[in-house]
Structure formats: C-alpha cells, structure tokens
Chains A and B, each alone.
Chain A
Amino acid sequence: MSADPQMLAFETNCHIFSGCGFPSPGLNSFVFKPLFTVGGVHFNKPMLLAVLSTIVVVGFFWAAFARPKLLPGKLQMVGEAGYDFVRRGVVHETMGRKEGEKFVPLMVTLFFFIWIMNLWAIIPIAQFPVTSIIAFPAGLAAIVYLTWMTLTFKRHGFVGGMKSLCGYQKGLGAVAFLVFPLEFLSNTIIRPFTHTVRLFANMFAGHLLLLIFTVGAWYTLNGIGIAYSAVAFVMVVVLTLFELFIQALQAYVFVVLASDYVRGAIAGH
C-alpha cells in the first residue's frame, strides 16, 4: 500500500531470498512526505533543501565577500576563484567583457545556486538533488528566458526582435520559409524547454542511478547476494564521484547556455 520505496528499502528489513520483492526506485522516489503544511501548501524536503541552498550560497559569499580585503584571506580567495571562473570563464568568454559585465551577477548566482542544489544529491542525510524536481530548473530557465527575450525586443525593436528570433539573414531566398518557422519554434518554445530539461533530466537520472545501486546494495545484502551487494556498493561510490562531476558540469552547462542566449539576444542574428 505504501508508495514510498525509500521506506521499503531502508526502514524495513527487505532483502533478497526473504520473500520480499525488489523495491525498485521510480517516480515515487521524487515524492516526499510534507514536513509541514501551511495554508494547504505542503512544505517538503526539496523545498527545505532549496531554502538551505539559499542560505549556503549567500552564507558562503557573505563570509567570503562581506568584508573583502585587498590581500584576500583563504575564504575570499576561494570565493574569488569561483567568481572569476563564472565571470571570465563563462560570461566574458561568450558575451565579451563590455557587454557581459552587466550579466555577471545573474550568471554567478545561477551557477552557484544550481550547483549547490545539485550537490545535495551526495550530501549525507539530504541525498536529493533539488533540481531533479522540474519546478526548480524550470523557474531558473524561465528567468533566463525572460531576460534574453526582453533584451531581444529592447535592443532590436519588434521587427528586429522578430527577425532575430526567426534567424533572418540576407540571401536566404526560398529557404526562408523553412528557416523562419523552425528557428522561431526552436528559439521561443524548444529552447527554454531543453534548457530546463537538460538540467532536470541529468539530475533526475543521476539520482535514480544512485538510488538503484543504493537500494540494490541493501536489497541484495543477504546470503549469496552479498557478492552482488559489494558490486552495487562499488557502483554507488563510483557513481557518487561521477555525480559530483555531473553536478558541477550541469550547472556550468546551464550557465554557458544562458550566457549564449543572452549573447544572441544582444547581437541579433
């Protein structure tokens, strides 16, 4: 009756060869019991982790940058390295120094916020990537979408903006009838969707993988199954390291794409 596989896997003594079926993790692994309910809104674990992410990111940058010194301390040095990575490595690289500087705060915030939300996946007790709930990446992608859409029409006016969205170029000729709808569809509808889903699906799949091997390691921990359990456990360790890499990579990819969209809006086509 209970639909919570985590409860099945960890809170009961369900092992192989004991007449217990494999409590396969699935969509239900992404549904949580409300921690508390305020006015009919259930406050659950992903929300708590999102709020914690806010505290962690703001807390870190507060500690690093609140009283910055000309000769940086250790924490400030780390903060500067992270800040510089996004600022120069992403924003200045895609948009150029002059145009890009205005968007540095947005991209820095996006990167570190997403990264920390991803990172919860491998933090003990938390062990859940907030971004695997599509609402979180969707909200961030929407902010990026609104930003570059506004910029497109602000910079180029309505006609210029539409041209930019349709991928207008001189000398397209008859191909234009093919290019315009495709580009328009790609830019206005598919782009924010893929932007969201790329992050969401990566974290979703990563979490599922980790769950399958974790639950599997626990489930097979009986009799001869211990051999399988050992393999699954090794996979958990390997995948945890892999996820550590993917979490940072996906945050990076999200920000690089966001910067590229903004660059496209500024430059036009």
Chain B
Amino acid sequence: MTLLQIAADEAENPLIPPLPELVIGLVAFLIVFGFLAKMLLPRINKVLEQRHEAIEGGMEKAEAAQAEAQALLEQYRQQLAEARHEANRLRQEAQEQGAALIAEMRSEGQRQREEIIAAAHAQIEADRKQAALALRQDVGKLAVELASKLVDEALQEHARQSRVIDRFLDELAEKAEATR
C-alpha cells in the first residue's frame, strides 16, 4: 500500500471532511477574518465615514452659503423697500411742505397786499385830509379874496346902486312931488 492509495481510500466518501483540511481551512479563514475585521475594514470604514462627512460637509457649506445669500437678498430687498418707502415719505413730506410753503406765502402775500392796501388807504386818507386842509385854506383864502373882491365890487356897486337908488328915489320923490 502506497501513501497515495491510503489517501485515496480515505477519500472514498467525499462528503466526510478530513480533519487536517478542516483545521487548516478554519485557521486560514480566521486569519483573513482577523486581518479584515480588526484592522483593514475599520480603516476603510473610517475613511468612508470621513468621505461621507466631507461630502455632507461640503453640501452643508453650500447650503449655508445659499442661505446666507438668500438672507442677504432678503436684506437688500428690505432695504430697497425701506428706501422706496423713505423716498415716498420724503416726497410726500416735500409736497406737504411745499403746499404749506405755498399756503404760507399765499397768506403772506394776502397779508402784504392787505397791508399795502391798508397803507394806501391810509395814505389816501392822509392825502385827502391834507388836500382837504389845503383846500380849506385855499377856499378860505379864495373865499376871502373873492369876498373881498365881491365886497369891493359890491361896495362900488352899492355906491352905484345907491346912486341909482338915490336917483330912483329922487325921481320917485320928484314924481311924487310932481304928482302931488
């Protein structure tokens, strides 16, 4: 019996596992398992985790940037709206102020006009009074002048009239005497 034949006889039933192969197979497996489970797979897991985090972190960063941009946009919009509102307010205020100014100026004009009118009236009154005064003086003078003239004339006339009257009276008297 050679060694080979003994081995062949042992292998008659291929379903019966030979012990040395079983042990070697298990040891080989355990060595592979030990290396992978204790050392190599944890390492790659760590890196996969890191990569996942890196990708997720990148995404988070992008999201944060987007959120910031959105916030900034919102802020700008708000500022723009505020500015617009402010401009509106200013315009309205200016309008109001302008209207007030116009109204004020109008009332001032009115007042000035009235003042001017009043002053004019007063001036006119004063002028009139002065004129009246002057006139009165003039009239007096004139009247006196006239009167003096009239009187003078009248006196001369009177004399003449007196002569006329005298003559008339004389005539009358002559007539009466004549008639009697």
Number of interchain pairs (Cβ within 8 Å):
134
B residues less than 8 Å from A134 (CB atoms): 14-17
A58 touches B31 (CB 8 A): yes
Nearest CB on B from A73, distance (A): 12
Size category of the binding interface on chain B: 35 or more
How long is the Cα–Cα vector from A108 to B39 in the complex, in angstroms?
Answer: 13
B residues less than 8 Å from A157 (CB atoms): none
Residue from the list A2, A41, A135 in contact with B25, Cβ < 8 A: A135
- A204 CB-CB contact with B under 8 Å: yes
Nearest CB on A from B50, distance (A): 6
Residues of chain B in range 1-16 having any CB-CB distance to chain A below 8 Å: 3-5, 7-8, 10-12, 14-16
- B40 CB-CB contact with A under 8 Å: yes
- A68 CB-CB contact with B under 8 Å: yes
- A268 CB-CB contact with B under 8 Å: no
A33 touches B4 (CB 8 A): yes
Most buried by B among A32, A66, A109, A130: A109
> Which 5 pairs between the two chains have the least Cβ-Cβ distance?
A135-B21, A105-B37, A135-B17, A68-B47, A136-B25
Q: List 10 A-B contacts (CB under 8 A).
A: A4-B4, A31-B8, A51-B24, A58-B36, A66-B40, A113-B32, A135-B17, A139-B29, A140-B29, A143-B26
A binding-site residues for B, Cβ under 8 Å: 2-4, 27-28, 30-34, 41-43, 46-47, 50-51, 53-54, 57-58, 61-62, 64-66, 68-70, 76, 79-80, 83, 104-106, 108-110, 112-113, 130, 133-136, 138-140, 142-143, 197, 200, 204
